A and B are shown apart, each in its own frame.
Chain A
Amino acid sequence: MIIFYEKKTGRIKGTVDGRIHSKEHLKIWIGDKKKTGRLVVQWKPVRWFTEQEDELPKECLNACDEEGNSLARNADFEADHSQKKIFFELDKKPMDVYKYKVDLKTKRLVKK
């Protein structure tokens, strides 16, 4: 999720929803760039799994089978942010983001 907020008040103006944001998404801006700040929260893989759904240890992430195909087939993701629990809930209900505002000092979400 990308959150756009007023630089003066921390009020959230709008969002770009999603877990992984491409370079094109990062070109999107809501409002006046001089007055609007942005919080980009990407999701990252934290656990990898093989085709048989066995967890793949981190040291084996680059391992391949005899045909050279990666053993990693699937992954669990979580938000790459100190408030990952909040973003986990916002991923399910993105419109709840407007119950928060951005703390201008810490750039963390706080309840309004």
Chain B
Amino acid sequence: MSYKIIISKPGYNALTETDPDNLIFSSDYNTLKYYAEGSIAIDLNDGTSFEESIAHSLGYKPIFFTYHKWTPESFYVLMNRSWADAGYYIHVHTFVDNNYLRIKVRQDQTRDLQGTIKYKIFKNSTGL
């Protein structure tokens, strides 16, 4: 015999409701399971590249999100992020493998740039 947990929205019967839109939670459906979140400081001090790695140590490629902001922007952007203008480009990328989440920043000119990255890593595997 298997068991499950179902939490329905107000006004719906958890024992009989079949529409997942009317449920807050059902163990019948997979959910993103939080593993870790935090931030990374980017410091492109007089350089053209920056690399940092987070050893997540999960042994597989997890689902993750990363958001990026340059100082003094007021908004975070979902990565990956690239932009170019007359005479320059900047790429900000994240990669994941079985043990690390890696952040790489590349620019074609030497500029002092500071920023931050917010990351969220989930227990769920990408299956890749």
Contacts and interface: CB of A to CB of B under 8 A. Distances in A.
Interface in A27-42: 27-31
Nearest to A14: B40
Contacts of B113: none
B116 A13 contact: no
A12 interface: yes
A80 interface: no
Interface string B47-59: 0000011111100
A98 B35 contact: no
Nearest to B71: A98
B110 to A, nearest CB: 20
Contacts of A29: 54-55
Say which size band chain B's interface belongs to: 10 to 19
A18 B119 CA distance: 13
A13 B40 contact: yes
Interface of A is mostly: mixed
B17 interface: no
Interface in B40-71: 40-41, 43, 52-57
Contacts, number: 53
Interface residues of A, number: 20
Contacts of B57: 24, 27-28
A13 B35 contact: no
B41 A17 contact: no
Given A95-B116, A98-B116, A15 B55 contact: no
Interface in A77-112: 94-95, 97-98
B37 interface: yes
A48 to B, nearest CB: 26
B39 A94 contact: yes
Interface string B11-55: 000000000000000000000000111111101000000001111
A30 B40 contact: yes
B52 A13 contact: yes
Contacts of B38: 2, 14-17, 30, 94
Interface of A: 2, 11-18, 24-25, 27-31, 94-95, 97-98
12 contacts: A11-B43, A13-B40, A14-B39, A14-B40, A14-B52, A17-B37, A27-B55, A28-B54, A29-B54, A29-B55, A31-B53, A95-B118
